[in-house]
Chains A and B, each alone.
Chain A
Amino acid sequence: MIRIAAVGDLHYGEGSQGILRPGLEHLPDRADLLLLAGDLTRWGKPEEVQVLADELRGVPIPMIAVLGNHDYHCGHEVQVRHVLEGAGVRVLEGEGTTVEIDGVRVGIAGTKGFGGGFRGAHGSDFGEPEMKAFVGHTKMLSDHLAQALTGLDADLRIALLHYSPIEGTLEGERLEIYPFLGSYLMAEAVDNAGADLVVHGHAHHGSEKGRTPAGIPVRNVAQPLIRHAYNIYTLDGHREVLAAAARGIS
């Protein structure tokens, strides 16, 4: 059984010391992997993410993150990434990585993702340059997500996002802001490429649980929503290994 701890939207600032650390005390005994679903800072300042990095440094399980919109605000996202990586956190943007846990290869493909809306009401890259840029950004990141997922050589595959790929985990948010909370293009990418779990944040007032149209579980782990240091999800990795072996034999 593979145990995935996940949280997003920690929104660390320069005075956030100690918020997460007590909740991390037993993490290595309870989870095999920690996923961080973006918005790790308030303004995307290196000083802010340094506070979080100091709390994460030394956590003895693999830690994998994507950045969120707040982490881009000051234009220092490259430094934010470097500070996290200095604390042992692998940061993904349109990339994948694989970790081996008890003989099971767990692949994670990550992107911030972006908005646009959902089926029947999605924005189009049409009209003003600003609108083309908005929707074009979502299309590009969704394509990168599909490529990263497809490129994983793994028994279990997880998509790690900041923005939501489905409406189901936005229930509770105001309908008017759905286009700024996610895009179905990411769900389409996941459903086409295949995955065992999708984790995202960003929707503080949304719902924790949903599924893509193809039935892949989606979990919104925005910290103000889950109200814990992280949530833990278990995946039966050995079932996947046996299934893969059976496919190989047949």
Chain B
Amino acid sequence: MSELPDYLPERIREQLFHDPRVAEQDLKVDVKEHRVLLGGNVSSVQLRHTITEVAQELLPGYEIVNETTVVPASEPEDEEPVC
């Protein structure tokens, strides 16, 4: 597996997607020096924490900055007539 800096973010993104604890395809991963920036949408606060833990396992010596957003799932305010 490549450790070249140009390929590292995609490798981490792929490993997060294939980790059954995460399985989240929408994550954005950027690596600068020894900082990993995570972005995108997640469905729960718990999943957000899990993503940080799994990313830390994948890159033990790196600082993990998790900027993912928890998507709200509240009731809609209104309805749309379509036909």
* Chain A contacts to B: CB under 8 angstroms: 3, 10-11, 13, 15-16, 19-20, 22-23, 25-27, 30, 42-43, 70, 196-197, 204-205, 217, 219, 223-224, 226-236
Contacts and interface: CB of A to CB of B under 8 A. Distances in A.
Given A11-B43, A42-B23, A43-B23, A19 B79 contact: no
A233 B83 CA distance: 9
Contacts of B75: 23, 25-27, 30, 228-230
Nearest to A218: B82
B81 interface: yes
Contact of B82 (A10, A219, A223): A219
B51 to A, nearest CB: 12
Contacts of A19: 43-44, 73
B47 A15 contact: yes
Contacts of A235: 81-83
A200 to B, nearest CB: 14
Contacts of A22: 73-74
B54 to A, nearest CB: 13
B67 interface: no
Residue among A11, A43, A70, A236 with max Cβ neighbours from chain B (10 Å):
A11
Contacts of B61: none
Contact of A233 (B41, B71, B82): B82
A236 B83 contact: yes
22 contacts: A3-B79, A11-B43, A16-B44, A23-B73, A27-B75, A42-B23, A43-B20, A224-B26, A224-B71, A227-B72, A227-B73, A228-B72, A228-B75, A229-B73, A230-B75, A232-B76, A232-B78, A232-B79, A233-B80, A234-B79, A234-B82, A235-B83
Which 6 pairs between the two chains have the least Cβ-Cβ distance? A232-B79, A42-B23, A228-B76, A224-B41, A217-B82, A229-B73
Contact of B79 (A27, A30, A223, A226): A30
B26 A204 contact: yes
A15 B81 CA distance: 35
Contacts of B78: 232
Contacts of B41: 204, 224
Contact of A234 (B20, B24, B26, B81): B81
B2 interface: no
Given A11-B43, A13-B47, A231 B80 contact: yes
A27 to B, nearest CB: 8
Interface string B52-67: 0000000000000000
Contacts of A229: 73-76
B71 to A, nearest CB: 5
B6 to A, nearest CB: 18
